[in-house]
Structure 1
Amino acid sequence: MTTDSRPVQTNEQAGENSRPCPSTADDFFHRGLDLHRQEAADSAISLYRQAISLCPEHVDACFYLAILHRATGAPEEAVHWFGRAHSLVPMEPVIAYELGITHYSLGQHQMAIEQFQKVLALDEMHWQAAYNLGTAHLAQGRMSEAINAYHRAAQLNPQDADIHFNLGLACKKAGRLEEAVQSYLCAMEIAPDDAEVHYNLALVYKALGCKDDAIASLEIAVALRPEYGAAHGNLGVLYLDQDRVDAAIGCYSRLIELDHNAVSARHILAALTGVTTPVAPSAYIAELFDSFSSHFEERLLVDLEYRTPWELKSLLLADSGGVTHCKRLLDLGCGTGLVGQIFQDISAYRVGVDLSPKMVASAAAKKVYDELVVEEIVTFLEQNHDPFDLIVAADVLIYVGELDRIFATLAQALARNGRFLFSTEQLAGQGYQLCQSGRYAHAFSYIETLAARHGFRILSTQSANIRKEKGTWITGELFLLGF
């Protein structure tokens, strides 16, 4: 998905300085300018500096010295000389504009904003300043200000596709999706062969629930740019949502050819073609949940009617010889911290582990964990030295097929008389199976065999509706294990 703004636009033209300077200073300047045009940078810099040493108020020498420093990778020096030229001629918009551009290149966004605002005060028709003012506001996350600046730029130069593109981006970030669609459509009229415009329009259509329109835009994007991996990936997701499995298989096969998110693509392709692998790749899980992190709980609890952590807690408390309070709780695959919240009242010390850094950041914001770790769960369990009284894995083992290694490490990590509480998706058969969803289902007999092999007793089980998928309940099993 594209989130960066289009490149900053520059105009490196400046008028001649009218301030009187010694003719020798002007000679040095013009000789430097000739060498500058011939790309003899070092010699040009030396001559510009000699002109300035003879005439410290030589604006043109300061300005072009700054231009040359920026072009040769010395933006800090460029800021100094643009600033000096600006102090000599503060009412010249060209100098203020170039100073703003250089501040922006250094990540000094607020200083850039101030310069672009000065330019517009001096020249209200300067559309590049309005455009880059929007870009600087966008970089600082000020969506409303960015939108206003881009609107001004679009009024001044309505035929510039980049302005409409960035206006669409700012509107999308601000949640003004209908406006974003209109902006991308304007950009598309100007630049119909720009695959990135069609791609970003598709993302907005997808967010609006206009899936057919999103698919149409993505199909145009990949036709224009066959190597556009992100577009193939999003197209595959949308094809699957419409049960167009063969078309989705084509997308994921293409991702593997392009080596774009190939690890995840191979996992999904295996799921779609009936191949059962031992485990979902860590990269796939981390990427999947990172992408969901900003709206995970809303989608899970509202759209999918997810209640598994509450039902697991009820299963635990219903056990006559079970745990009503524990010292140390381990939340495997903690996500955004639902288990930590729900089990907070029956645990003294809580540790959360997850592969997704963004999920862990969301969990940290809840302030219910004493420790949070970004790690693969088996690696964490193997390195753990402090036993836990209760280990919870709510909808975590559905991303692992072969559970033998996990059960072995859990047996080492669980305290004596401890409890292991988890959920699975039901499989009416033997062993485990990778489903088209990319998740694994496990047979009850498989869990029974593993539990016995590693010294666990199944204390309690319960069938449950795990979540909805396309409006239909996924049936699962809740387990409470102990020694």
Structure 2
Amino acid sequence: MTRRPSPPQSTLPSDPILALRANELLARGRQLESQGKIADAARVSAELVNVAPDLAEAHQFMGSMAMRTGAADIAAMSFERALQLKPRSADLHIALAQALLALQRPADAARILDKGRTLHPNDAGIFRELGQAQLDLGQPDAALKSFSRATKLVPNDLYSRHMASALATTGAPNPGYVAELFDSYAGTFDAHLTGKLEYRVPQALAAALAEHGPVAGPTLDVGCGTGLVATTLPETLRPIDGIDISEKMIAKAQERGVYRHLRTGDAHAVLADEPDFAGPYGLIVAADVFIYIGDIGDLFASLAARLAPGGILAFSIEFNEAQGIAIRSSGRFSHSPAYIHGLAAANDLSILAEVSHPIRLEREIPIPGRLFLLRRG
């Protein structure tokens, strides 16, 4: 009978001096990481792997730093080696899958996660990542099962609850997910979105309005966030009112001093309850708002009803060709042009402009989108 070879073991170097050096490097790397000095930590991780090539934690740390610096290919190799040294680690199954998803390899990620859930049938993180891989593979029914399992294991996981809700009922997000997401994001929102993610939708909408105008205020900025859209609009479009679901985002928008009225809450509810937002508006803009809502029929009708004659509704969507509404593994929704055309016709709006435009980078790849300008009357 042939005996199966034992898996490699994660160990420090046998040389006590090298073992001490490895521990020093690992501590130093984690300190640099905690200080936000990721490039320095990445350099330390490379030295650590050379000193302790059989230490799983060394390869895991190198993989984590590679992910932080956008080197998903190096991360995948590092996590794969770490997993060879520590084959029962749930964290390493998840980390390797995340790197593979970043490399647009969802089938490989799903394979790793299938092994992981066999070893760890009660690890919510494995099922959460598996759901993402299955969505990227075009397997929504399987993804629903994975996200539902994750929510049973960790009921307060808002992302998994959001995904399960959106997959169970087309276009129905979890109501608490978006508010929590943007509250946690408010402090770094502008720099991260406009820097690393190369977000230029506000400028592109402003350029489209300048080309297809003239249009005059007042303006309603739906999902105003920190106020990025308002800063791109000319004085002729003021006064500007803003609504956002995130209280912390609204606080940032208030600091800009460009809004007449600001409210926190669900946009459809605010429009129904607040007389300050009754309109009519010459412009209503919704930059990257519908992608967090899914089924936008009711909100769309509320916005159309508040447009002045000749007023313009300007917005962006993440684009899909075939489906009306689809949830993506990012947690955002995509919409088809046909779906938007149907809403426009139902609300007596004519299509003034429809322009292809990337929404942002995701995993270093542009997300396809469309910008729309719709006119009332």
Q: Under TM normalisation by the shorter chain, which class is it?
A: 0.5 to 0.7
Asked whether 1:255 is paired with 2:145, we answer no
CA contact (8 A) 1:355 1:375 kept: yes
Separation in 2 of the partners of 1:477 and 1:192? 50
Could you tell me which runs of 5 or more consecutive residues in structure 1 were left unpaired when the two chains were aligned.
1-119, 427-431, 452-457
Asked whether 1:135 is paired with 2:30, we answer yes
Separation in 2 of the partners of 1:172 and 1:474? 26
Deviations 1:388-416, CA, capped at 9 Å, x for gaps: 5532234645635364477558857x7x7
Separation in 1 of the partners of 2:268 and 2:327? 25
Measure how far apart 1:230 and its partner are. 3.2
Structure number with greater CO (CA < 8 Å, separation at least 6) is 2
The equivalent of 2:14 in structure 1 is none
Among candidates 209, 217, 225, match of residue 120 of structure 2: 225
Measure how far apart 1:332 and its partner are. 0.6
Separation in 1 of the partners of 2:24 and 2:75? 22
The equivalent of 2:223 in structure 1 is 333
Measure how far apart 1:190 and its partner are. 1.7
The equivalent of 2:295 in structure 1 is 401
The equivalent of 2:106 in structure 1 is 211
Asked whether 1:268 is paired with 2:166, we answer yes
Q: Letter of the aligned partner of 1:206 in structure 2?
A: L
SS of match in other structure, 2:39? helix
Separation in 2 of the partners of 1:144 and 1:339? 32
Q: Letter of the aligned partner of 1:241 in structure 2?
A: D
Separation in 2 of the partners of 1:406 and 1:240? 27
Separation in 1 of the partners of 2:145 and 2:210? 42
Among candidates 172, 176, 201, match of residue 67 of structure 2: 172
Cα root mean square deviation, aligned = 4.8
CA contact (8 A) 1:222 1:228 kept: yes
The equivalent of 2:258 in structure 1 is 370
List aligned pairs for 1:38-437, cutoff 5 A.
Answer: 125-258=20-153, 259=155, 260-261=157-158, 262-270=160-168, 275-276=169-170, 279-286=172-179, 294=192, 310-311=207-208, 314-315=211-212, 317=213, 323=215, 325-326=216-217, 328-334=218-224, 339-344=229-234, 346-355=236-245, 370-371=258-259, 375-381=265-271, 382-383=273-274, 385=276, 389-394=282-287, 396-397=289-290, 399=293, 401=295, 403-404=297-298, 407=301, 419=311, 421-422=313-314, 434-435=325-326
CA contact (8 A) 1:310 1:342 kept: no
CA contact (8 A) 1:340 1:369 kept: no
CA contact (8 A) 1:252 1:268 kept: no
Q: Letter of the aligned partner of 2:276 in structure 1?
A: H
Separation in 1 of the partners of 2:358 and 2:112? 28
After TM superposition, the score normalised by the length of structure 2 is: 0.65
Deviations 1:129-183, CA, capped at 9 Å, x for gaps: 3322221111111123323444454455444322332232123213343433333
CA contact (8 A) 1:252 1:269 kept: no
Rg larger in structure: 1
Q: 1:233 to 1:296 in 2, by over 3 A?
A: farther
After alignment, is 193-202 or 224-233 more displaced? Answer: 224-233
SS of match in other structure, 2:173? coil
CA contact (8 A) 2:286 2:316 kept: no
Separation in 1 of the partners of 2:208 and 2:196? 19
Q: 1:176 to 1:265 in 2, by over 3 A?
A: closer
Separation in 2 of the partners of 1:309 and 1:216? 45
Separation in 2 of the partners of 1:477 and 1:124? 60
Separation in 2 of the partners of 1:285 and 1:163? 36
Separation in 1 of the partners of 2:32 and 2:367? 44
Q: 1:136 to 1:443 in 2, by over 3 A?
A: closer
Separation in 2 of the partners of 1:368 and 1:153? 46
Measure how far apart 1:331 and its partner are. 1.3
Measure how far apart 1:196 and its partner are. 0.6
SS of match in other structure, 1:385? helix
Could you tell me which runs of 5 or more consecutive residues in structure 2 were left unpaired when the two chains were aligned.
1-16, 360-364
Q: 1:253 to 1:467 in 2, by over 3 A?
A: farther
Q: How many residues align?
A: 331
Q: Letter of the aligned partner of 1:280 in structure 2?
A: P
The equivalent of 1:95 in structure 2 is none
